[in-house]
Amino acid sequence: MLSFAENTFSVKNNMKSFFKEDPSFVLNTNCLNFCEHQTKFSVRNWFETHGKKGRKVPRGNVGTVFSRFETPSNVKITVIGGGSFGTAMSKVFGMKGYQVCLLVRDRNIVDGINQERRNPKYLREFTLPHSVFATSNVESALEGTQLVVHALPVQVSREVLERVAPFIPTGVPVLSTSKGLEVASHKFMFELLQETVSNHGNRRPLAFLSGPSFAKEIMQELPTAVVVACENLEIAGQIAAMLSSSIFKVFTTTDFIGVEVAGALKNIIAIAAGMAEGMGLGMNAIAGLVTRGCSEMRRVAEFLGGSSVTLSGLSGVGDTFLTCFGPLSRNRTVGYRLGKGESLNEILTTSQEVAEGVATAKAVVEWLPAVLNTTYTRALVRFPILLSVAPILEGKLTPEEGMQQLMAMPPTVED
């Protein structure tokens, strides 16, 4: 349904053409018909039911509710997480004129943003738009919000999401920017969100943002291109329209599986690429490592039901290239320092921000063989890069031994 003033219109099949004529419609709190058709699932259940075909997403009769607002300043967006990317997302929405509430625990960050328009801990050299404000109060942060953006590290997400879930208005979509695999449960963010904020009692649309996007470059207002994935392409399109500007280009897809898998596994590849660089192995080795890593990542995603198109796009090779070669990459930096001879403990204790690939690499060693219903040794033959990083992080192999292990693999057909 669409509502403006006192008139209400039913818009379903002709939704795309309607919004093309009037782009001033923005996402509202009620996506109820869509939510009724969502199905809770876990990766492990897919293979028992569908095997390599992956998950079949139910496509019900979707009648999303939107409302018309005179200006974006009437729309409230809540960003959970005051780290680098949460701050950057606040700026992207704030530059469009939306009222952005940044929910953070640190009172110093709250005061810095509200008083000086700066995050005093992350990217403090940049100012934020005046429509961005911060709070530590969960209830006030989520009251009346029409879009929730989750921008916290995966390993702390479940605890926070369980705490804030009761305060998120019914039907309000959640957009996740987090990338990785939860160590304790071996679950992706879409599974965590299903279990916490979109459970049986309150179905809501879930969307996922990914792509080559360093937070610092977003804050510098340098051109950036990302993709938003959602089962419902209309909802993905509405979120994309809210984000898009002359410096922030947003594409859409329904393949949230491919986007999530690529977002998690590319960080492992980046650690491996950083190690190769730190050891001074040259660009031939790094390029070969990244290319074969992308092949492994694609095969995992396709096995789970993701699309090879997604893996060759912004959230796949695009984000992988940035993370593997970009000087601002946290995961590449971890690998580089390991390659130079530092211990993981030294690296982590001197790092201000989280490198998601460290936890994800350790989780994948247990998760991937289980998903493939095979042993670690057998899986290692097919996925030597994804499964060789964790033993190095844990001190079971040196970076040199890990590279020797890769080079000792028998010849095989390129796939």
Strand 224-230 versus strand 248-253 pairing type: parallel
66 assigned ligand-binding residue: no
Neighbours of 280 (CB within 10 A): 9
85 assigned ligand-binding residue: yes
Q: Where are the alpha helices (DSSP H) in 96-232?
A: 107-116, 138-142, 154-164, 189-196, 215-219
14 assigned ligand-binding residue: no
CB of 145 closer than 8 Å to CB of 168: yes
121 assigned ligand-binding residue: no
Residue 251, strand partner residues: 227
84 assigned ligand-binding residue: yes
83 assigned ligand-binding residue: yes
C-alpha angle 16/22/24, rounded to 5°? 110
> Residue 133: which residues within 8 A CB-CB, separation 6 or more?
99, 100, 101, 102, 113, 114
CB of 191 closer than 8 Å to CB of 167: no
258 assigned ligand-binding residue: no
Neighbours of 400 (CB within 10 A): 13
Q: Which H or E run contains 50?
A: helix 43-50
Q: How far apart are CA 201 and CA 272, in angstroms?
A: 42
Known active-site residue 266: yes
Cα–Cα nearest to 179, from 150, 159, 205, 199: 150
301 assigned ligand-binding residue: no
Long-range CB contacts (< 8 A, 24+ apart) of 116-123? 119/82, 119/87, 121/82, 122/82, 122/83, 122/84, 122/87, 122/215, 122/353, 123/84, 123/87, 123/88, 123/215, 123/216, 123/219
CB of 177 closer than 8 Å to CB of 150: yes
CB of 261 closer than 8 Å to CB of 306: yes
Place of tokens 């596994």: 265
Q: How far apart are CA 311 and CA 237, in angstroms?
A: 20
> Residue 72: which residues within 8 A CB-CB, separation 6 or more?
26, 96, 97, 98, 242
C-alpha angle 5/8/10, rounded to 5°? 150
Active-site hit among 91, 96, 187, 266: 266
330 assigned ligand-binding residue: yes
Binding-site members are 81-86, 179, 215, 330-331
Binding-site members for substrate are 179, 330-331
Q: Which residues are catalytic?
A: 266
Binding-site members for NAD(+) are 81-86, 215, 330
